[in-house]
A and B are shown apart, each in its own frame.
Chain A
Amino acid sequence: MILVSAAGSLRGVPNMANDAATKAYVLALGRGLHREFARHGVTVSVLLPGMTDTPTLDKLGFQPGTSPLKPMTVEQCVAEGLAALAANRATHIAGRLNRVSDRVIPARVTSMMMGRMFRQWAERRPAQEAESIGKTR
């Protein structure tokens, strides 16, 4: 079983508060079930993608060229998720850069940087879209 959460769920994300919180729910649920399901022979892995090249990213207001970060391809993200499942990992952050920054950058700093970024994005997109965003990343 692969549960898709988001790298942003590792900390609070201002201007994406509820979204990050729901992803934290998924992450914690998966971590608990990883152990509970093990005795049934079922592997549970939680995949935490960072910025990934999906239609949602455009909807959120991402503009290529304005960001120093390059989105990960869907293929690589999916491949990492499947590899994590095969290796029976409870959680996996997609992308080496995302994994490194999770380790070395304090949560408070990441939280503030992401919050600022999402505010800029939100200002870019039309108001009606801002209200109907259903997904993140």
Chain B
Amino acid sequence: MSGKPVRLDSARFGPWALVTGASSGIGRGFAEQIAASKINLVLAARRLSTLDELGRELADRHGIQVRTVGVDLTGPGFMNAVIEATRNLDIGLVVSNAGDMVLGEFLASPYDILIRETRLNVDAHLRLIHHFGQDLARRGRGGLLLVSSTAAMQGVPYSANYAATKAYVLTLGQALHHEFSGRGINVTVLLPGATATPMLSRFGADRTAMGRLAMPVGTCVADALKALRANRAVRISGRMNRLTIAMTPRSARTRLFGALSKSMAAQLPHSQATSADGQVTTTDVKI
């Protein structure tokens, strides 16, 4: 982790927080920094063994309680598993982070892969927010952090469905920021740009100019937590990303992001569109 973790008020955002997609990348970064604020964690992702390992490490280092739930958020009944894992817990913060990216030409992408991406990037957010939003509203305090992407700010050729799902999350969060503000709930949408995560490496982007510009996870997460604390509706992570987006007209961004997606897709081992996670495994699901 780079830099100091951002402190959250555990009376407001604790005693428990839920982080989805916590096994790696930005989700893992959230788990690490939230743990440093002495807030107990429920970690959800597909890879239960990785979560358990991270959970033990964070529990030891920060003296917090950690629960883990191995769940595929695209699978049927995933919500039951999450509800079961959070039963009787007073959740004050939900980081709806899990997401995946399908790269490649739209027409060459099998429908199954695109709808799986849509379930994860749209439906899982919707379900989680709908369920935990009720709990947070009853408490009258807490936070909701939705992870979108800078891809949400314009259309992106060669990851058209991905950008569209992220636009959904952005627009939903913007509206809920207003709707929930009267209920004491902070809602912030995080729009990360290129971030040094396993997803970026899987696409081979860590070996390109994009990889060299990629932001460290810790910095991205710190930016997001500060924005949540200040109750900002939308936060693009990193000054460079904010500047680029502000200075570049949308149509130019569509061309730029499209060119990046196309070049990343071309580097994939198989020419067909592939999601970052590759094959779907549902063996971890505990319901």
Find chain B residues with CB under 8 A from A130 CB. none
- Given A14-B179, A28-B163: A33 touches B170 (CB 8 Å cut-off): no
Please count how many residues in chain B sit with their CB below 8 Å of the partner chain's CB atoms: 36
State how many angstroms separate the Cβ of A25 from the closest Cβ of chain B: 4
State how many angstroms separate the Cβ of A70 from the closest Cβ of chain B: 25
A36 to B255, CA, bound (A): 10
Which residue of A has the minimal Cβ distance to B257?
A32
Find chain B residues with CB under 8 A from A27 CB. 155, 164, 167
The answer to whether B176 touches A12 (Cβ under 8 A) is yes
Q: Is B172's beta carbon under 8 Å from chain A?
A: yes
Find chain A residues with CB under 8 A from B174 CB. 11-12, 111
Residue in B177, B233, B254 whose beta carbon sits within 8 Å of that of A32 in the complex: B254
Find chain A residues with CB under 8 A from B186 CB. none
Q: Is B198's beta carbon under 8 Å from chain A?
A: no
Find chain B residues with CB under 8 A from A26 CB. 164
Which residue of B has the minimal Cβ distance to A23?
B171
Please count how many residues in chain A sit with their CB below 8 Å of the partner chain's CB atoms: 31
The answer to whether B179 touches A24 (Cβ under 8 A) is no
A21 to B175, CA, bound (A): 9
Find chain B residues with CB under 8 A from A21 CB. 167-172, 175
The answer to whether B155 touches A115 (Cβ under 8 A) is no
Q: Is A60's beta carbon under 8 Å from chain B?
A: no
Find chain A residues with CB under 8 A from B78 CB. none
The answer to whether A13 touches B175 (Cβ under 8 A) is yes
State how many angstroms separate the Cβ of A73 from the closest Cβ of chain B: 27
Mark contacts of A9-50 with chain B using CB atoms, 8 A cut-off: 1 yes-contact digit, 0 otherwise. 101111111101111111111111111100010000000000
Q: Is A112's beta carbon under 8 Å from chain B?
A: yes
The answer to whether A29 touches B164 (Cβ under 8 A) is yes
Which residue of A has the minimal Cβ distance to B180?
A14
A32 to B106, CA, bound (A): 9
Find chain A residues with CB under 8 A from B177 CB. 12
The answer to whether B175 touches A12 (Cβ under 8 A) is yes
Mark contacts of B263-284 with chain A using CB atoms, 8 A cut-off: 1 yes-contact digit, 0 otherwise. 0000000000000000000000
